[in-house]
Chain A
């Protein structure tokens, strides 16, 4: 009969069986989770004395543990209990002639807490520890042969074949006192302790025991399967086993998200659709012409399902595919970014609202799902980013073609055609492209026609901006002329009452000057822009002003800096665009050449194979009839 109990998260199961040969079960056991006491006893002695011995010892152990467990330390308690059992069995044996010579083995364990246990044994009942899939024996059989091996008088092989290999050197009841071996065990999460009588390991292989113990099945199943294993192995003896499992480590965040998280998310599917509808998903231009329910099904439901599957499998592939389908379809219809952005925002805020609701019920799960759903949204942005970049490349290529065509029309001749220039550059390295392209100074043109965005500035704000820039200049190294120039530009842009992008473009062109589009030209410029941003942000906190005014200054300077960076970036991108295109073309040509080389390689290999078959290596060199490759 299997007993299943638990103690502080520790799961325990015990089982015993008479076996296939014996008529009585002389084994006994204690499974007592209240006291953390687990014992297997294997009685011996004729005329039913064996079961009396094991039961007497069992009762004596339980009695002493119950009586003294509050006053004794576990190790001493276990030893004392076994000594008491030995004395009790010995006395019982002395009182009845037919019980003379009865005795019992014992393996006992007190689980102090989920991290600590004490194991004691006398005789050949064993304790095993399973940790990280490996089984280790905690006890050493008290047999005459084992002791001879310990003393070096017998080898392990000789011991295995020895006629007295099962003769015990120690048991409870042979004498009033017993010599008890004790082991302290530090338990780790998921560890399993197994106590058993010799009826198990005598009829089952060590490998099979290890396999079952490490199977991950619940302890009650393991205990039952171990008994079955011994029975299948012959069942020549009574068999008893107790399996004790230390608390499993808490499930990892990933496991929680994959199981509970995914389920909770899916259960709120209709809520997600409702929130998305309330936030205007059905009115988005992307789903124009669709029935609202159809739109919800097509967009919100698909994303909900994609997130669910990705949560379940810890991937991002479903959300990626969803985003690619939606964005790809929209861009194919020449759709603008704004509606797609709005749609993604609706879906993102709806998803977050649902996760927040889950968080109200279960804070930890809500937190884990917040991270997982945010990650899913990042995946969606990555997919859309790929499509945007692809579109940008295609527009760039078109732009260059149109530009080249215009140049050709204006100037005439093959030099003006960009494609002609490309071909020539690849074939003729002599005259046209002497310098590496990155060294060619460029002053690209950017029209100062961006829309007005600034709400205007008042004198108090101008004053605060000037103070901030003064502090920032003071914090700038004397040699950092470029940074100072940028600070000046940021100030000018920030206090420009019109807020026109023109001031940013003019400042950018002035700072950009004539510089090569390479590491030495562009990098210092952007480094200086970045440095100026950091210094400005830090300096805002050092002016004497109200928090509100500081916030305004920070906003004004941030905006100015952003406009300046935007304008500078525009200049750089315009300067770089033709070269990037050239680079791509060169890469494409290189790839084509590589394919050609591969083709020739294949041809060469074919020829090698063809000629190799005609060479007769058994013939002398001159008679082989072909050339050796």
Chain B
């Protein structure tokens, strides 16, 4: 039997209403957000930023850190495939989070929802930054191990 989805939390709902404004603000400043975004045509940039904003909405609704990490891992890999380093990705994700928090503060000024959403988005940005650093550090550890292994092999073969 199929049942309806659980109710979306109010803050996630408030965020969803703000998403078009956040998107527009990010599109307006996309050249400063990331050079790659600056070079993209608007529909493509819109689609890519929308994906991040949509994921942020899902994370706000579910609070599922695992899926957040998975998303970030995908995002890092996609940007790596475009020859964008993790620093650029981190800076971009932080800029997106900051802009969302700024929009919440501006648009919902004076309301309890506005204050809570602003704080929540700021904390989500902090969580995101930490998660990206975790992923990079894990990758670094893996490569260091790989390097050690290869160095041993090199010594063995020579």
Contacts and interface: CB of A to CB of B under 8 A. Distances in A.
B147 A526 contact: no
B18 interface: no
A135 interface: no
A336 B139 CA distance: 12
Contact of B70 (A565, A570, A579): A565
A367 B147 contact: no
A444 B115 CA distance: 48
Interface stretch (B9-17, B26-34, B58-66): B58-66
Contacts of B71: 530, 533
A208 interface: no
A348 B80 CA distance: 29
Contact of B129 (A341, A385, A559): A385
B70 A392 contact: no
B73 A392 contact: no
A534 B62 CA distance: 11
A519 B84 CA distance: 13
A392 B140 contact: yes
Contact of A565 (B74, B122, B137, B151): B74
B74 A526 contact: yes
Contacts of B143: 392, 395-396, 399
A561 interface: yes
Interface string A344-378: 00001000000000000000000100110011011
Contact of B66 (A337, A402, A538, A555): A555
B25 interface: no
B140 A391 contact: yes
A542 B67 contact: no
Interface string B75-115: 01110111101110011001001100100010000000001
A388 B73 contact: no
Interface residues of B, number: 63
B147 to A, nearest CB: 5
Contacts of A375: 98, 122
A554 interface: yes
A168 interface: no
A417 B139 CA distance: 25
Contact of A410 (B2, B76, B80, B157): B157
A569 B91 contact: no
B39 to A, nearest CB: 13
A363 B81 CA distance: 46
A377 B69 CA distance: 19
Contacts of A561: 66-67, 70
Nearest to A522: B81
A389 B81 contact: no
A573 interface: yes
A381 interface: yes
Nearest to B87: A389
Nearest to A371: B122
Contacts of A391: 140
Contact of B67 (A406, A558, A573): A558
Contacts of A342: none
A391 B86 CA distance: 11
B118 A371 contact: yes
Contacts of A522: 77-78, 81
| Majority-rule SS of B interface residues | helix
A541 B1 CA distance: 11
A389 B85 contact: yes
Given A395-B144, A580-B80, A542 B64 contact: no
B137 A403 contact: no
Interface residues on A, range: 35 or more
Contact of A337 (B67, B91, B137): B137
A130 interface: no
B115 to A, nearest CB: 6
B74 A569 contact: yes
A381 B126 CA distance: 8
B150 A399 contact: yes
A385 B154 contact: no
Contact of A541 (B5, B86, B119): B5
Given A341-B137, A518-B81, A378 B94 contact: yes
A626 interface: no
A402 B147 contact: yes
Contacts of A580: 80, 83
Contacts of A377: 126
Nearest to A395: B143
B80 A384 contact: no
Contacts of B118: 371
Contact of B76 (A370, A378, A530, A569): A569
Interface string B31-71: 00000000000000000000100010010001010110111
Contact of B6 (A382, A517, A541, A544): A541
A311 B122 CA distance: 16
Interface string A389-428: 1011101101100110110011000000000000000000
Given A395-B144, A555-B66, A526 B78 contact: yes
Contact of B81 (A367, A370, A371, A572): A572
B139 A573 contact: yes
A382 B58 contact: no
A314 interface: no
A558 B2 contact: no
Nearest to A331: B140
A388 B137 contact: yes
5 contacts: A398-B147, A402-B154, A405-B154, A405-B158, A542-B5
Sorted nearest first, the 6 A-B pairs with minimum C-beta distance are: A381-B129, A337-B137, A558-B66, A569-B77, A562-B70, A541-B5
Interface of A: 253, 336-337, 341, 348, 367, 370-371, 374-375, 377-378, 381-382, 384-386, 388-389, 391-393, 395-396, 398-399, 402-403, 405-406, 409-410, 471, 517-519, 522-523, 526, 529-530, 533-534, 537-538, 541-544, 554-555, 558-559, 561-562, 565-566, 568-570, 572-573, 576, 579-580, 583
Given A392-B139, A392-B143, A526-B74, 19 more contacts: A348-B126, A367-B119, A374-B123, A374-B126, A375-B98, A381-B126, A381-B132, A385-B90, A388-B137, A402-B151, A406-B157, A409-B154, A409-B157, A523-B81, A530-B71, A561-B66, A562-B66, A562-B70, A572-B77
